[in-house]
Amino acid sequence: MIDQYWAMERGARETLISVMRARLLGTAASTNVVSAGEAFTMSDGILNIQGGGAGFDVFAQPDFPPVLQTVAVAGGVTKGVPLDFRAAGHSAGPVDDARRNGLPVDVRGSTAIIPIMGPTFRRASAFMRMFGIGVGTEDIQAAINAAVLDEEVHTILLRIDSPGGTVNGLAELADTVASANVVKPVIAQVEGVAFSAAFWVASQATSIFAGRGDLVGSIGVVSILYDLSVMFEKEGIRAVPIVTGKMKAAGALGTEVTKEQEAAIQALVDSHMEQFVQAVTDGRGLTEAQLGATPSNKDLMSPLDAGLFPAEAALELGLIDGIRTIEQTLNELTTNETERREGRRRSSLARAHLDLMSRT
């Protein structure tokens, strides 16, 4: 177990890794100053880093040079650990920590990009994430919270292509987006579809954008029970549920779905729908009557009828704020950040000038 770590700033770390990879692929070894006081040397595939009095060696797998593994740290030996720069109580930033821990977040400039791709579940396994089967709402929450805490992140971008998902954990994720929105702008960018649960989450962002060919909507809740009792009866099979209440075996294979059970499930669905509508009206600044309206294309159903809308119709209904691609959104965010920095620089110069004038 590694018990002593060495940390560096985000920019310095990225520079170091780039140089290390280049060297491992054949460039000449030499000493490189990565940031003030930190330097490293490399010889025969062994990298030695020295900074702040703490040093450790790293080596590369012979069969795959770009992959680096920690070998010795403060005298202890660890194998199979990806190269990692950390420090107890100190890191390069919450977003870096989140990304290192496998959470879905990346950074472009001062924007944290958090993907919501595929069906949403409260907890998604590594297998589900690997094959795009689903994404965990708890992982997304943790990534958003890291972005909120990171001082280098000024904007959060949710990159959405999801057909929706389960109710479990959904309201908590939507609340996390709404809370983050109070601290930093949260932009939802649709890249494909934002249906049902995905739109609930997106509706809590500062603004929503979609491409010309993208779709949004499907505001609604669904639960399906299958009554196979007649089929079972024809096959001479009788399902006998031994239960302690009328709802305990609702929908069980081969049992009849009673009117009481149907009404109870409908009440649950209606309850979730009330929360959904409330979240969308609050987040989008719409009334329930506006959600019940249909667009100019009368063949499309209203949002409250779980209608699906192309970008133009969604914009007309107030479900999104604009039609543009993710690159256009990121370029605008970059431009705005550049302008903000220039404004801060000019303000600092003005204050310095006034201070100087007051002294003379």
pLDDT mean values, one per 10 residues, the chain (360 residues): 42 57 49 39 48 36 32 33 33 72 86 94 82 87 93 95 95 96 96 97 97 96 93 93 91 92 95 96 95 89 95 96 95 75 62 66
- Where is the domain boundary, 77, 102, 120? 77
- Residue 203's domain is classified under what CATH number? 3.90.226.10
* Domain shared by 70 and 100, yes or no: no
Asked whether 309 and 317 are in contact (CB, 8 A), the reply is: yes
Asked whether 121 and 128 are in contact (CB, 8 A), the reply is: yes
Asked whether 146 and 139 are in contact (CB, 8 A), the reply is: no
* Domain shared by 123 and 185, yes or no: yes
Centroid of chain to Cα 144: 6
* Domain shared by 47 and 112, yes or no: no
Tokens encoding 17: 């890794």
pLDDT at 161 (0 to 100): 96
pLDDT at 319 (0 to 100): 97
| Residue 214, C-beta contacts closer than 8 angstroms, at least 6 positions apart | 190, 191, 192, 193, 194, 310, 311
Which structural domain range is residue 58 located in?
A: 10-77
* Domain shared by 61 and 108, yes or no: no
* Domain shared by 163 and 26, yes or no: no
Q: Is residue 196 part of a domain?
A: yes
* Domain shared by 113 and 171, yes or no: yes
Distance CA 138, CA 129 (A): 13
* Domain shared by 201 and 308, yes or no: yes
Q: Is residue 352 part of a domain?
A: no
Distance CA 230, CA 246 (A): 20
* Domain shared by 98 and 172, yes or no: yes
What is the tally of structural domains in the chain? 2
Q: Is residue 254 part of a domain?
A: no
Q: Is residue 21 part of a domain?
A: yes
Query: Could you tell me how many residues make up the chain?
Result: 360
* Domain shared by 56 and 201, yes or no: no
* Domain shared by 307 and 159, yes or no: yes
Q: Is residue 358 part of a domain?
A: no
pLDDT at 99 (0 to 100): 76
Q: Is residue 60 part of a domain?
A: yes
Q: Is residue 319 part of a domain?
A: yes
Amino acid 2 reads I
pLDDT at 202 (0 to 100): 97
* pTM reported for the whole predicted model: 0.68
Distance CA 17, CA 14 (A): 5
Q: Is residue 3 part of a domain?
A: no
* Domain shared by 70 and 208, yes or no: no
* Domain shared by 70 and 103, yes or no: no
